[in-house]
Structure 1
């Protein structure tokens, strides 16, 4: 029985990861990135998820709750809002951004904004896959399926924001630092806001609307780049 559960969880992590990486790979079909590079980005994101998990564990040392679920269990709307926008969004987007900035952005094959989206998405999907290792064993039914499918997508969409703007700055010879200082907080705000919306029975529908709007924005930016290239 335990073996079946393990394989079910692994399939629910690997399957959506392959699907969503394939989706963003297809969106960059004009000049697709080497699949081995995307696998490396995925692994870096998975490792970033582990490091971020350790960072959450260190938060009590500075008097902060260890994780979002703990904050949600207290049921204080103000605390949930502040923790989501002040801790979860910034912390997770930063840990996804670091491997992108340190190991991926310097590559010569990152030569168009779409590459930033594809690589940032692959890192984010790896991050979400590690995250799901902790969540999926505690879930069943529709919640299990929803988490398995939606988490990689939402992480990828948030990270696509800084992936696009930072890669665009690199390609155009502009300040990558300024692009990061603009787009990283923007992604963190969307990420934190999404978390707030998902835990509210009254506002949850708006989390789906937010994801849809971000998805359409990323598609628009990619299509705009493709037509101008």
Structure 2
């Protein structure tokens, strides 16, 4: 039986490592003492550093205690849940009315390995002076046996303004789809698939009005063939 593993490295782009950053990203082999040019490295290794949501819960509960936030469950002698801890920390950081954070707390399973996209969303709202601006992250899947397709990679860029994620599998599947459509002479099918890809990229733009304006500019450039980037 072959096992598949996921390893990744990246950086947090921030002003400084604070207790919030340490609580959320400490399990990623975070070197809190070394911030170089506004970046600090993080690492996820399947064999060594693979933070679980249960660990994040423990870290955030410990942080709440240090901040003087008495969690309801602790007061009752029970084990705090992560959603409850997040809600009470949201009150402490004056972001209890943040709709995005509220939806995240209400709908996320918080099970298994912690994902950097959700950690960024939490950290960006619990700002204790860290000034986290973005995360750059690259990862790869690899298998114990060299069989087709248990290997692959992804790249992530996460910020409040834009989130981009690309996968090597995406390139393989897109190429296969376009190849079949072009062989069949079905340009409409090929164009529809390309449109899906473009809309997927545009969905990573956080602000709706900016996203709509960018879509119009993109359409104009495609129509007049002007794809040269502006200065």
For normalisation by structure 2, the TM-score amounts to 0.26
Larger radius of gyration: 2
Going by fraction, where is helix more abundant, 1 or 2? 1
Going by fraction, where is strand more abundant, 1 or 2? 2
For normalisation by structure 1, the TM-score amounts to 0.27
